[in-house]
Amino acid sequence: MRLKWATILWLVSVSCVFGVGTSSFAQSYPLRVVRMVSPFPAGGVNDTVGRIIAERLSKALGQQVIVENRPGAGGNIGTDFVAKAAPDGYTILSGGMGSLVMNPLIAKVPYDPIKDFAPVILVAESPNVLSVHPSLPVRSVKELISLAKARPGELNYGSGGTGSNPHLSGALFNQMAKVNIVHIPYRGSVLATTDLIAGQVHMAFLPTPVSLSHIQNKKLRAIGVTGKRRSPFLKDVPTIDEQGLRGYEVSPWYGVLAPAGTPSVIVNHLNAAINKALQTADVREKLAAYGAEPVGGSPEAYAKTLREDLAKWREVISQAGITAK
């Protein structure tokens, strides 16, 4: 009996020690600069969203949060760097669908998007806009589908490269609408957009910030938004879903992740700070300037989104026979 009580007392004392330690750790973190890695070049949407969050996070944490660009291999280099970093909360990732969903499904990458990361928060979404050259005689998704069925294999769409969000937006559209609109890959979205404006390709699923000014200047015609809801920047343009292609939805996202094994107390601390930042008018206005809509939520919700997107796009890629080139 004495041994049993001794064991119980020991367990209670250990629990108390660890409980106090965890609480103290949460209050003291961070003790030095936090590095947020953007796996893309400076100036892009991923980098910009990361910098908007890093600025507010610095104020909330009382320590500087710096953005470090580690571009290359379509985002794989910087993403892998964070996957292999110490899980101590001092190296985090400004991640996106490209390196966390599309790349791992199309080619071999040196990290596992599920096993190697602890999702912190889904920061924002930025749907694409189905934009056509004004010479194409369509003003709605229904008209486009009718034209594509009447001219199978004759229409085409451009994208910034094989496996990019705009490419897969088109692949999903083809599958759901049962049409054959040919994909034309470019080396980057700028070249794809330039050729679309010049009439060298018929259409493209362009990121909102890329397409917006060209739509406003009548150089392109927007006929559908790929997201769940209408874009606040193009309120008169209906979603593809509401035009009859039920269930169609592509919402490229940006999020923050830590290396797997990062203590949950740190993950939750970062999550709370970023959720709070996303409620401020300043952050929402800055995100809006880049066509991004704030999301927020729990680490668990972000993890669920990541798993669901991997499953969804695995099927789309398999059906389309898309491979790395």
Residue 323: its pLDDT value, please? 87
Q: Are the C-beta atoms of 206 and 167 separated by less than 8 Å?
A: no
Cα separation, 54 vs 67, whole angstroms = 7
Which homologous superfamily does the CATH classification assign to the domain defined by 31-126+252-320?
Answer: Bordetella uptake gene, domain 1 (3.40.190.150)
Residue 313: its pLDDT value, please? 97
Consecutive H or E run containing 175? helix 165-177
The answer on pLDDT for 173 being more than 60 is: yes
Mean pLDDT of 169-197: 96
Residue 87: its pLDDT value, please? 98
Lowest mean pLDDT among 2-11, 51-60, 262-271: 2-11
Q: Are the C-beta atoms of 39 and 95 separated by less than 8 Å?
A: yes
Residue 19: its pLDDT value, please? 46
Cα separation, 15 vs 18, whole angstroms = 5
The answer on pLDDT for 20 being more than 60 is: no
Residue 188: its pLDDT value, please? 85
Mean pLDDT of 129-146: 98
8-18 pLDDT, tens digit each? 443 344 344 44
Cα separation, 76 vs 20, whole angstroms = 39
Q: pLDDT band at 282, cuts 50/70/90?
A: very high
Domain limits, the chain: 31-126+252-320, 128-243
Q: Which residue reads 């070249």 in tokens?
A: 191
Nearest to 256 by CA among 305, 289, 291, 208: 305
Nearest to 173 by CA among 197, 138, 142, 198: 142
State the average pLDDT for the chain.
92
The answer on pLDDT for 177 being more than 70 is: yes
Cα separation, 291 vs 275, whole angstroms = 19
Residue 325: its pLDDT value, please? 67
CATH class of 128-243: alpha beta
Q: Within 29-75, where are the H helices?
A: 45-61
Residue 291: its pLDDT value, please? 85
Tokens of 184: 């034309």
Lowest mean pLDDT among 27-31, 73-77, 94-98, 242-246: 27-31
Nearest to 299 by CA among 255, 236, 261, 249: 255
> What burial letters (b/e) apply to 54-70, b meaning 16+ CB within 10 Å?
bebbbeebeeebebebb
Residue 23: its pLDDT value, please? 52
| Percentage of residues of the chain with pLDDT beyond 70 | 91
Residue 312: its pLDDT value, please? 97
CA triple 112-114-116, angle to 5 deg: 55
pTM score: 0.87
Residue 209: its pLDDT value, please? 83
Backbone CA torsion sign across 299, 301, 304, 305: negative
Cα separation, 188 vs 206, whole angstroms = 11
82-109 pLDDT, tens digit each? 999 999 999 999 999 999 999 999 999 9
Mean pLDDT of 223-247: 96
The answer on pLDDT for 139 being more than 50 is: yes
187-225 pLDDT, tens digit each? 888 899 999 999 999 999 998 888 999 999 999 999 999
233 versus 295: the higher-pLDDT residue is 295
Q: pLDDT band at 28, cuts 50/70/90?
A: confident
Neighbours of 1 (CB within 10 A): 5
Backbone CA torsion sign across 34, 279, 128, 304: positive
Q: Are the C-beta atoms of 226 and 130 separated by less than 8 Å?
A: yes
Cα separation, 139 vs 223, whole angstroms = 6
Residue 12: its pLDDT value, please? 43
Beta bridge partners of 69: 38
Q: What is the DSSP string of 97-120?
A: HIIIIIHHHHS--SS-TTTTEEEE
Residue 6: its pLDDT value, please? 42
Cα separation, 302 vs 117, whole angstroms = 11
